[in-house]
Amino acid sequence: KCIIDAKNIVKIYQNGAEELKVLDDISIQVFQSDFTAILGPSGSGKSTLMNILGCLDLPTAGQYYLDGMDVLKARDNELAEIRNQKIGFVFQKFNLMPRLSAIQNVMLPLLYRGVNEKEAGETAKEKLSRLGLGDRLQHRPNELSGGQQQRVAIARAIAGNPPLILADEPTGNLDSKSSKDAMEIFRELNSEGNTIVIITHDVEVAEEVKKIFYIRDGKIYSDGG
Ligand code: ADP
Ligand code: ADP
């Protein structure tokens, strides 16, 4: 089953009179249970591609089907809905809500989806416990280490069992031990069938996954291709 099916994606930014083609005819497919990295240097177009794959921005041209949904046919309010239903995001800076506890952070996307408070609480507790944070449920982000915060963010991303986990430089703010732990968590989640795409400039991170797409100057190359 194809989770990401993006074809001939072009993104052009207008810089005054100048056009900057940041993504140049990118096609990429990610299948269910894939463990994939998109690897590229700074300025290669990773953030731009991440925003498009994450339904945060629209391409200038191309086609994008996410878990069978035609993303480019969606209206703005439907894009938010698609994001919420289809994608669990993990960010470099964790993006946790600072005033909410760990368990409340993980409950949030479930409550958005209409899951009731009790069930959301139980699911959040279960996800946090399996990521080794069973004794940190009531802690706020600033009471947790970076590695712990990223595990809260991963628990939040998987809470609703989305078809896609999309991680943008997930180890970018972590020390090497916490990075290894986070990659180990991704590996385990993938072995349970989760589809994971990691966007990174870090070769060591990319070496942990099963398939690498290389992005350079807005063009994409797959393993050996
Ligand atoms: P990366 O994440 O790999 O560093 P980006 O996607 O952020 O790459 O940027 C790719 C190129 O597009 C860079 O040259 C950047 O300056 C340019 N760029 C990114 N966003 C915009 C924007 N909103 N307007 C104009 N240029 C942009
Ligand atoms: P990252 O560290 O994730 O690659 P960047 O520093 O490339 O992020 O970009 C941060 C934000 O600024 C992004 O939202 C990107 O779209 C925007 N941006 C990057 N380059 C430009 C640019 N030349 N003009 C306008 N916006 C830009």
48 lines ligand 1 (CB under 6 A): yes
Q: Ligand 1: which of 9, 10, 13 to mutate, judged by most atoms within 8 Å of the beta carbon?
A: 13
Asked if residue 100 lies in contact with residue 108, where contact means CB atoms within 8 angstroms, the answer is: yes
φ/ψ bin of 194: left (φ > 0), alpha (ψ from -120 to 50), beta (otherwise): beta
Residue 76 binned pLDDT confidence (cut-offs 50, 70, 90): confident
The residue to mutate among 15, 20, 39, 56, having the most atoms of ligand 1 within 8 angstroms of its beta carbon, is 20
> Is residue 43 lining ligand 1, measured as CB closer than 6 Å?
yes
| pLDDT higher than threshold 60 for residue 112 | yes
Taking CA atoms only, the protein residue closest to ligand 1 atom 6 is 45
* pLDDT for position 116: 97
Contact 91, 110 (CB under 8 A): no
Q: What gap in Å lies between CA 148 and CA 127, rounded to an integer?
A: 13
Q: Whole-prediction pTM value? A: 0.90
> Using CA atoms, how far apart are residues 129 and 126, in angstroms rounded to an integer?
5
pLDDT tens-place string over residues 19-60: 999 999 999 999 999 999 999 999 999 999 999 999 999 999
Interatomic CA distance for residues 125 and 51, integer angstroms: 30
**Rg, the chain, Cα only:** 17
Q: Which ligand is nearest to the CA of 172?
A: 2
Q: Encode pLDDT of 83-97 as tens digits.
A: 999 999 999 999 999
Average pLDDT in the chain: 95
Which pLDDT value is given to residue 88? 97
